[in-house]
């Protein structure tokens, strides 16, 4: 009797060891706070992966740039020192140049247009361009439309931007466009931005309302203008070798989990956009929301001509034409 009890206990222990060993932990990071549209994305993704793989995969979530800025996280995923990252596309063209076209200013009419492009053939084809660079791109998600903030003055027209020292993402298309406005561009990783604004190293920055709110930029910026000058996608990326090791069913589980994460993320962006202006006004920001976009578009005519040469007018028109 004693022997069978012992055997049973050992079998049970072996079972526990096997199930513990069978669980694989992976890491995913964002450069903004957990209580944000990006936090919602990776929290949903982590929950869904665990659920869809019956707990065999556990995703550890890291926030506020605790594993580094976006560029460093993407680099770590490419090298395989980190399995997953969720990032805005800001630094992505440095790794996958084909994605640069998405950063052309005033390319998208609204969020519905941008989402239709990313979820349709153009966006899905772009996801395949990551494969040869050491990534598996799981799904497009969203940062939202970017707006300008600064500590110096109200920006009502493009000429008001001249001479403002603005933090920009490490993104060649953005930098070229903002120079076209006469902005003094200062590329900088996101985790450094709050301090740079606080210390006056830069006058301003540009980001979607979701980011402005979650980063508490209202504490260090007085003026906000709803320029909506660039639509900023986000993306779930995974190390290609780590993805390739998964079984077919688990690959699907990760892809489906990323889609769920993207859905939750977009819903949060919509929510932040709906209440963001009133929220930031209540915190003391001056918000210019009746922007004459045509003036801003016209100011960038020379830069846009360059973009048409670089990306091909037909490719830009194809994106603009998506209904």
Per-residue pLDDT tens digits for 18-52: 444 479 999 999 999 999 999 999 999 999 999 99
Is 80 exceeded by the pLDDT of residue 9?
Answer: no
pLDDT of residue 8: 57
Q: Are 17 and 49 in contact (CB under 8 A)?
A: no
pLDDT of residue 17: 46
Distance CA 78, CA 99 (A): 16
Distance CA 316, CA 27 (A): 36
Mean pLDDT of 148-176: 95
Count of structural domains within the chain? 1
Distance CA 105, CA 249 (A): 39
pLDDT of residue 170: 86
Range of the domain at 19: 2-321
The CATH number that applies at residue 49 is 3.40.190.170
Is 70 exceeded by the pLDDT of residue 117?
Answer: yes
pLDDT of residue 22: 74
Distance CA 217, CA 171 (A): 21
Give the tens place of pLDDT for each residue, 63-103: 999 999 999 999 999 999 999 999 999 999 999 999 999 99
Is 60 exceeded by the pLDDT of residue 10?
Answer: no
Is 50 exceeded by the pLDDT of residue 252?
Answer: yes
């Amino acid at each position: 009797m004693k022997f069978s009890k012992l055997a049973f206990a050992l079998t049970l222990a072996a079972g526990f060891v096997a199930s513990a060993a069978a669980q694989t932990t992976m890491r995913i990071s964002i450069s903004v706070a957990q209580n944000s549209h990006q936090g919602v994305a990776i929290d949903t993704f982590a929950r869904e992966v665990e659920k869809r793989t019956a707990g065999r995969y556990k995703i550890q979530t890291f926030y506020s740039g605790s594993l580094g800025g976006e560029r460093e996280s993407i680099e770590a995923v490419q090298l395989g020192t980190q399995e997953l990252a969720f990032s805005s596309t800001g630094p992505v063209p440095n790794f996958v140049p084909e994605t640069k076209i998405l950063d052309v200013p005033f390319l998208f009419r609204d969020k519905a247009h941008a989402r239709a492009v990313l979820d349709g053939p153009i966006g899905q084809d772009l996801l395949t361009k990551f494969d040869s660079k050491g990534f598996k791109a799981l799904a497009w998600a969203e940062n939202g439309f970017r707006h300008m903030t600064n500590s110096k003055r109200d920006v009502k027209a493009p000429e008001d931007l001249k001479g403002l020292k603005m933090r920009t993402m490490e993104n060649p298309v953005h930098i070229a466009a903002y120079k076209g406005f006469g902005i003094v561009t200062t590329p900088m990783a996101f985790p450094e931005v709050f301090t740079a604004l606080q210390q006056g190293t830069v006058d301003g920055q540009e980001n979607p309302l979701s980011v402005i709110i979650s980063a508490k930029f209202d504490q260090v910026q007085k003026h906000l203008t709803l320029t909506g000058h660039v639509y900023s996608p986000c993306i779930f990326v995974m190390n290609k070798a780590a993805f390739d090791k998964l079984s077919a069913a688990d690959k699907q589980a990760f892809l489906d989990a990323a889609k769920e994460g993207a859905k939750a993320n977009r819903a949060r962006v919509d929510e932040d956009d709906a209440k963001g202006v009133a929220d930031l006004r209540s915190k003391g920001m001056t918000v210019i929301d009746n922007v004459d976009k045509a003036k801003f578009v016209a100011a960038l005519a020379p830069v846009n001509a360059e973009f048409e040469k670089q990306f091909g007018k037909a490719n830009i028109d194809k994106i603009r034409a998506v209904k």
